[in-house]
Amino acid sequence: MKFLDEAKVWVKAGDGGDGVIAFRRERFVEYGGPDGGNGGKGGDIIVQAVDGLNTLIDYRYAQHFKARKGGNGAGQDRTGAGSEDVVLKVPVGTQIFAEDKETLLADLDVVGKRVVIALGGDGGFGNAHYKTSTNRAPRRADKGWPGEERWLWLRLKLIADAGLVGLPNAGKSTFLAAVSAARPKIADYPFTTLHPQLGVVRLNASEEFVLADIPGLIEGAHEGAGLGDRFLGHVERCAVLLHLVDGSQPDPAGAWRTVREELIGYGNGLAEKPEVLALNKVDAMTPQARSSRVKALERASGAKVHLISGATGEGVPELLRVLKSAIPVRETT
């Protein structure tokens, strides 16, 4: 299934049904009086987060959603039927923005969470509603109220405990494939990963966490270079970032600085998140290179550097333990 993390949709809630003008006409009832009923309520547009979805591809081709109008009132003081609501099902982690793409209307970050995004119109009053002691035969009935309509932006931000960041070809996809059942495309050219990937890392029968891999960043990504920073939103919700640096390149400290500058340029608190730093591809390094590059990276970052190899598994179990310990314990109800 193709991955899509942003979609624009138009929604229109149902109009309310019309009230009617009617009078009671029965044999042996001399003064029947008004008995026109009210209109029914129009259907709402509801957006609900459901389990089992991880893309907005359903809204790539179907972009217009309209609820039905409420039923009109009828004689004998009968109220029109209310229309059914239209429910748009989206992945957990979907945010709903107004047409300006800046005003956040709702954040559906929990399974089952739902929000009425366009309210159906109320039904109009029939003439029975306007009967008074001084107006015994009103000939007034109202049209139903119009339902709300608007353009919306749906933006998906994946829910993960830890996020992978790094330059292209830092070995992020290889690492994800090694520690989880995810099967991302792996190749020896930049930008093999074109969209985010999720994997569940199981340490044992009772401990696990979700790891997100996003396409690699390059210098100027926050200004649109390469694939840009549009996928960084998928690690905004992560508790910790795993920064992989390619140890086979001569300047790992420079690679670390490049990614850090892009995180700072993107903003939204990414640069302030806890970061675990790992020097990857140590299987392709000599002992002397390991020592010198680890020292250079530690001097630049001021943090402990973990030596790992996603290809051979060296140092990976220890790194996963460090990641798990950095993730806050989820509260259960």
Residue ranges for the known binding site are 166-173, 191-195, 213-216, 280-283, 309-311
Specify binding-site residues for GTP. Answer: 166-173, 191-195, 213-216, 280-283, 309-311
The CA-atom distances, in angstroms, between 133 and each of 31, 36, 76, 130, 326 are: 14, 17, 20, 10, 73
DSSP assigned state of 136: S
Q: Collapsing DSSP states into helix, strand and coil, what is residue 50?
A: strand
Specify binding-site residues for Mg(2+). Answer: 173, 193
Concatenated DSSP letters of 144-195: PPPPPEEEEEEEE----SEEEE-STTSSHHHHHHHHSS------SSTT---S
Inter-residue contact 36 to 27 (CB < 8 Å): no
Return phi, psi of residue 232, to 5°.
-65, -20
What are the beta bridge partners of residue 144?
none
DSSP assigned state of 268: T
**Which helix (H) or strand (E) segment is 326 a member of?**
helix 316-326
**Which helix (H) or strand (E) segment is 305 a member of?**
strand 305-307
Helix/strand/coil percent split, the chain, to 5: 20, 25, 55
Of 227, 119, 211, 221, give the one whose Cα is nearest residue 174. Answer: 211
Of 49, 57, 144, give the one whose Cα is nearest residue 89. Answer: 49
